Amino acid sequence: MNILIAEDDPVGRLTLQAMLKAAGYQVTPASDGQEALDAWRLTAARVIISDWMMPEMDGLELCRRIRDARTPLYTYFILLTGRSGKESFLTAMESGVDDFITKPVDADELKARLGVAQRILGMRQRIDALEGLLPICSYCKRIRNESDQWSELEGYIETRSQAEFSHGICPDCYRTKVEPRLT
Protein backbone atom coordinates (compact mmCIF):
# COMPACT_ATOMS: atom_id res chain seq x y z
CA MET A 1 0.00 0.00 0.00
CA ASN A 2 1.28 3.44 -0.93
CA ILE A 3 0.97 6.05 1.81
CA LEU A 4 1.26 9.75 1.14
CA ILE A 5 2.68 11.79 4.01
CA ALA A 6 2.37 15.56 4.25
CA GLU A 7 4.65 17.02 6.90
CA ASP A 8 6.42 20.39 6.71
CA ASP A 9 8.99 19.55 9.41
CA PRO A 10 11.85 17.73 7.62
CA VAL A 11 12.86 15.73 10.71
CA GLY A 12 9.26 14.70 11.39
CA ARG A 13 8.75 13.78 7.72
CA LEU A 14 11.91 11.63 7.61
CA THR A 15 11.04 9.96 10.92
CA LEU A 16 7.54 9.14 9.75
CA GLN A 17 8.87 7.95 6.40
CA ALA A 18 11.35 5.63 8.17
CA MET A 19 8.60 4.20 10.43
CA LEU A 20 6.36 3.48 7.45
CA LYS A 21 9.10 1.94 5.32
CA ALA A 22 10.17 -0.26 8.24
CA ALA A 23 6.56 -1.47 8.46
CA GLY A 24 6.68 -2.42 4.76
CA TYR A 25 4.77 0.47 3.19
CA GLN A 26 5.64 2.48 0.09
CA VAL A 27 5.86 6.17 0.95
CA THR A 28 5.39 9.33 -1.05
CA PRO A 29 6.57 12.36 0.97
CA ALA A 30 5.32 15.94 0.60
CA SER A 31 6.46 19.05 2.47
CA ASP A 32 3.13 20.91 2.48
CA GLY A 33 -0.54 20.50 1.69
CA GLN A 34 -0.40 21.77 -1.89
CA GLU A 35 2.49 19.46 -2.74
CA ALA A 36 0.56 16.60 -1.12
CA LEU A 37 -2.58 17.37 -3.13
CA ASP A 38 -0.56 17.38 -6.35
CA ALA A 39 1.15 14.10 -5.39
CA TRP A 40 -2.21 12.53 -4.45
CA ARG A 41 -3.61 13.37 -7.87
CA LEU A 42 -0.63 11.63 -9.51
CA THR A 43 -0.26 8.61 -7.23
CA ALA A 44 -3.88 7.99 -6.19
CA ALA A 45 -2.58 7.02 -2.73
CA ARG A 46 -5.33 5.34 -0.71
CA VAL A 47 -3.97 6.54 2.67
CA ILE A 48 -2.79 10.03 3.58
CA ILE A 49 -1.07 10.93 6.82
CA SER A 50 -0.98 14.69 7.12
CA ASP A 51 0.19 17.22 9.65
CA TRP A 52 -2.52 19.69 10.64
CA MET A 53 -0.45 22.89 10.58
CA MET A 54 1.54 23.41 7.36
CA PRO A 55 2.34 26.30 5.02
CA GLU A 56 0.55 26.74 1.68
CA MET A 57 -2.36 24.51 2.69
CA ASP A 58 -3.02 22.97 6.09
CA GLY A 59 -4.08 19.38 6.69
CA LEU A 60 -7.77 20.21 7.11
CA GLU A 61 -7.93 22.04 3.79
CA LEU A 62 -6.04 19.17 2.13
CA CYS A 63 -8.63 16.75 3.49
CA ARG A 64 -11.53 18.95 2.33
CA ARG A 65 -10.14 19.17 -1.20
CA ILE A 66 -9.64 15.42 -1.39
CA ARG A 67 -13.20 14.82 -0.19
CA ASP A 68 -14.50 17.38 -2.72
CA ALA A 69 -12.70 15.56 -5.55
CA ARG A 70 -15.21 12.69 -5.31
CA THR A 71 -12.93 10.12 -6.87
CA PRO A 72 -14.19 6.56 -7.33
CA LEU A 73 -11.67 5.16 -4.84
CA TYR A 74 -11.89 6.25 -1.22
CA THR A 75 -8.87 7.88 0.43
CA TYR A 76 -8.38 7.21 4.15
CA PHE A 77 -7.12 10.36 5.88
CA ILE A 78 -5.13 10.40 9.15
CA LEU A 79 -4.38 13.79 10.70
CA LEU A 80 -1.24 14.34 12.80
CA THR A 81 -1.19 17.13 15.33
CA GLY A 82 0.23 18.38 18.57
CA ARG A 83 -3.25 19.63 19.45
CA SER A 84 -5.48 17.71 21.79
CA GLY A 85 -8.94 18.06 23.20
CA LYS A 86 -12.48 17.51 22.12
CA GLU A 87 -12.76 20.72 20.07
CA SER A 88 -9.72 19.88 17.93
CA PHE A 89 -10.95 16.34 17.45
CA LEU A 90 -14.42 17.51 16.36
CA THR A 91 -13.02 20.15 14.01
CA ALA A 92 -10.86 17.51 12.32
CA MET A 93 -13.73 15.03 11.99
CA GLU A 94 -16.06 17.68 10.55
CA SER A 95 -13.46 18.32 7.85
CA GLY A 96 -13.63 14.69 6.71
CA VAL A 97 -10.67 13.24 8.60
CA ASP A 98 -10.95 9.50 9.32
CA ASP A 99 -8.46 9.26 12.16
CA PHE A 100 -6.48 11.53 14.43
CA ILE A 101 -3.01 10.92 15.93
CA THR A 102 -1.29 13.26 18.36
CA LYS A 103 2.44 13.94 18.11
CA PRO A 104 4.91 12.54 18.83
CA VAL A 105 3.86 9.52 16.76
CA ASP A 106 4.23 6.13 18.40
CA ALA A 107 5.25 3.48 15.82
CA ASP A 108 3.03 0.76 17.31
CA GLU A 109 0.00 3.05 17.44
CA LEU A 110 0.62 4.13 13.85
CA LYS A 111 0.85 0.50 12.66
CA ALA A 112 -2.40 -0.33 14.47
CA ARG A 113 -4.20 2.63 12.92
CA LEU A 114 -2.92 1.70 9.47
CA GLY A 115 -4.31 -1.80 10.05
CA VAL A 116 -7.70 -0.19 10.66
CA ALA A 117 -7.27 1.86 7.49
CA GLN A 118 -6.56 -1.30 5.47
CA ARG A 119 -9.65 -3.04 6.91
CA ILE A 120 -11.89 -0.07 6.13
CA LEU A 121 -10.50 0.31 2.60
CA GLY A 122 -11.01 -3.43 2.04
CA MET A 123 -14.63 -3.22 3.22
CA ARG A 124 -15.18 -0.16 1.06
CA GLN A 125 -13.86 -2.08 -1.95
CA ARG A 126 -16.27 -4.96 -1.26
CA ILE A 127 -19.20 -2.53 -0.89
CA ASP A 128 -18.29 -0.85 -4.19
CA ALA A 129 -18.19 -4.28 -5.86
CA LEU A 130 -21.63 -5.17 -4.49
CA GLU A 131 -23.04 -1.84 -5.62
CA GLY A 132 -21.67 -2.66 -9.06
CA LEU A 133 -23.91 -5.72 -9.38
CA LEU A 134 -26.58 -5.19 -12.00
CA PRO A 135 -29.98 -6.95 -11.69
CA ILE A 136 -30.60 -8.38 -15.16
CA CYS A 137 -33.33 -10.72 -16.40
CA SER A 138 -31.96 -14.13 -17.39
CA TYR A 139 -34.45 -14.42 -20.25
CA CYS A 140 -34.99 -11.05 -21.94
CA LYS A 141 -31.74 -9.43 -20.72
CA ARG A 142 -33.53 -6.28 -19.57
CA ILE A 143 -32.16 -4.56 -16.51
CA ARG A 144 -33.88 -3.21 -13.38
CA ASN A 145 -33.05 0.43 -12.61
CA GLU A 146 -33.08 2.37 -9.33
CA SER A 147 -36.85 3.03 -9.72
CA ASP A 148 -37.55 -0.73 -9.91
CA GLN A 149 -38.47 -0.44 -13.60
CA TRP A 150 -37.16 -2.78 -16.28
CA SER A 151 -35.46 -1.28 -19.34
CA GLU A 152 -33.29 -2.36 -22.23
CA LEU A 153 -29.67 -3.00 -21.27
CA GLU A 154 -28.30 -0.79 -24.04
CA GLY A 155 -30.32 2.25 -22.94
CA TYR A 156 -29.36 1.69 -19.31
CA ILE A 157 -25.64 1.63 -20.15
CA GLU A 158 -25.83 4.56 -22.59
CA THR A 159 -27.46 6.85 -19.98
CA ARG A 160 -24.83 6.02 -17.34
CA SER A 161 -21.66 6.03 -19.43
CA GLN A 162 -20.18 7.34 -22.63
CA ALA A 163 -20.65 3.97 -24.32
CA GLU A 164 -22.42 3.79 -27.65
CA PHE A 165 -23.55 0.59 -29.28
CA SER A 166 -23.12 -0.59 -32.84
CA HIS A 167 -25.00 -3.69 -33.87
CA GLY A 168 -23.86 -6.70 -35.77
CA ILE A 169 -24.42 -10.42 -35.76
CA CYS A 170 -21.97 -12.86 -34.20
CA PRO A 171 -21.01 -15.96 -36.26
CA ASP A 172 -23.02 -18.35 -34.07
CA CYS A 173 -26.24 -16.31 -34.34
CA TYR A 174 -25.70 -15.87 -38.08
CA ARG A 175 -25.34 -19.63 -38.49
CA THR A 176 -28.27 -20.57 -36.23
CA LYS A 177 -30.73 -17.70 -36.78
CA VAL A 178 -30.01 -15.86 -40.05
CA GLU A 179 -28.87 -18.63 -42.42
CA PRO A 180 -31.95 -20.81 -41.84
CA ARG A 181 -34.18 -17.87 -42.89
CA LEU A 182 -32.18 -17.32 -46.07
CA THR A 183 -32.93 -20.78 -47.47
d(CA 175, CA 159): 32
Residue 47 lies in a domain: yes
- Residue 130: per-residue pLDDT: 67
Specify which of 50-54, 88-92, 140-144, 149-153 reaches the highest per-range mean pLDDT. 50-54
pLDDT at 84 over 80: no
Confidence bin at 4 (pLDDT 50/70/90): very high
Domains in the chain, number: 2
Q: What is the pLDDT of residues 15-66, one digit of tens each?
A: 999 999 999 999 999 999 999 999 999 998 999 999 999 988 999 999 999 9
- Is residue 99 located within the same domain as residue 178? no
CA dihedral 80, 35, 124, 64 (to 10 degrees): 70
Distance from C-alpha of 75 to C-alpha of 180, rounded to nearest angstrom: 56
- Residue spans of beta strands (DSSP E) within the chain: 2-6, 26-30, 47-51, 76-81, 99-102, 143-144, 150-151
Tell me the pTM. Answer: 0.71
81 and 157 fall within a common domain: no
**Do both 172 and 121 map to the same domain?**
no
Q: What pLDDT, on a 0 to 100 scale, did the predictor assign at position 86? A: 83
